A and B are shown apart, each in its own frame.
Chain A
Amino acid sequence: MAPDLTSGNLVQFPGKGGGEPEEMMDENTVLVQRTLRSGQSIYFDGNVVIVGDVNPGGEVVATGNVVVMGYLRGVVHAGAGGNEKAAVYAFRMRPTQLRIANHITRAPDGDDNGPIVPEIARIKDGTVVIETFSSGSER
């Protein structure tokens, strides 16, 4: 059965950020083949791959990794539930706010410069770092 992933709270989490760390669930991945517009959201217990953009006002929350094969401008939360190993990948990384596990970051106010290249956000030494993504550099 194909659930309507965009209608709201599909999957309930044990509370954002608070849960115990769990293993990455690579077998549990959903592919979303469209752009998430303002007001649309995806909540998923696993990894989320979006073939499209996440517009401002759109929201993706996943217990695993989030991959955006497009422009990420909305709010993204990877590792919701507490997984600190989760990462966010985006072809163009300009999120309104980016959360991994219980870490919350946003771009500095007014900072809209920097490269428009594929990037990866993940936790290193307790803080979220965003780096240029090149295949094979990790994992």
Chain B
Amino acid sequence: MGEVIVITSGKGGVGKTTTSANLGAGLASLGDKVCLIDADIGLRNLDVVMGLENRIVYDLVDVTSGNCSFRKAMIKDKRFENLFLMPAAQTKDKTAVSPEQMRALTEEIKSEFDYVIIDCPAGIEQGFRNAISGANQAIVVTTPEVSAVRDADRIIGLLEKEDLREPKLVINRMRYQMVKHGDMMSIDDIIDILAVDLLGVVPDDEQVVISTNRGEMVVMNDSSRSGQAYRNIVRRIKGEDIPMMNLEEEGGFFRKLRQIIGLK
């Protein structure tokens, strides 16, 4: 029986979809059978990020409303044959699905997969409630901004109410240089408020944007820092004890890079 993990945040645009795609691909690359569910009905993205948009025939709402089986709607990834996507409907809205239907769907799917990862829409309304209803674990994504952390805190409170206790935190788009200059919240500042376990920190990295625009996942890019961060998170999800990439290391990395390319 697989784990059902919802990726959520409260605030929009902090990296839920990016994180879902990368964790899905990362877990699949290690041999796990993974199903990604795009629960952002009406604003689907995950198919685009994964480069699978042109293969969609049926979607989540077709499945929950009984038009087709979940196997029929599921799209196989082009890189990993053990990675699947359940696309969201684009022409319906969030009220087309109920939490009970989502619970029943994930219940059915998880019996055939090692991991089911649900990409949650922003907000705390019905789309959020749908996305979390079938999950037994939650990963909260935030960026190092006061407003995003505030929303993450709100979400953690709501998750606890739904009995999704001890969610794990991913801090995305960290800019170590800004932290060093006191212009950005540090990891410690964020953990101090949210008081949850840190799963990983993903640096702000243009490689994410470049990969995303090509329908690829940065986790497969061996030379990128963000890809490394996602690979570390994947291994932590699988229970390995991987130390955090720390600030000093990061400084060291950039210094080394400057030496290599001839800057002082």
Contact = CB atoms under 8 A, between A and B. Distances in A.
Contacts of A19: none
Nearest to A37: B157
A20 to B, nearest CB: 35
Interface stretch (B47-55, B98-106, B148-156): B148-156
The number of chain A residues touching the other chain, given as a range, is 10 to 19
Contacts of A38: 150-151, 153-154, 157
Contacts of A118: none
Contacts of A37: 153-154, 156-157, 160
Given A38-B150, A38-B151, A56 B157 contact: no
Interface string A50-89: 0001011100000000000001010000000000000000
Interface in B148-189: 150-151, 153-154, 156-158, 160
A132 interface: no
Chain A contact residues: over half helix, strand or loop, or mixed? loop
B154 A57 contact: yes
Contacts of A53: 193, 195
Nearest to B161: A6
A18 interface: no
A35 interface: yes
A37 B10 CA distance: 13
A55 B160 CA distance: 15
Contact of A57 (B150, B160, B195): B150
B153 A57 contact: yes
A110 B192 CA distance: 20
Q: Which of A40, A53, A71 is most buried by chain B, counting CB atoms within 10 A of its CB?
A: A40
A39 interface: yes
B162 to A, nearest CB: 13
A114 B151 CA distance: 27
Interface string B1-19: 0000000000000000000
B167 to A, nearest CB: 12
A56 B195 contact: no
A56 B154 contact: no
A67 to B, nearest CB: 19
Contacts of A73: 193
Contact of B193 (A39, A40, A55): A55
Interface of A: 35, 37-40, 53, 55-57, 71, 73
Given A35-B195, A37-B160, 6 more contacts: A37-B153, A38-B157, A39-B154, A39-B158, A55-B193, A56-B193
11 contacts: A37-B153, A38-B150, A38-B157, A39-B153, A39-B157, A53-B195, A56-B146, A56-B153, A57-B150, A57-B154, A73-B193
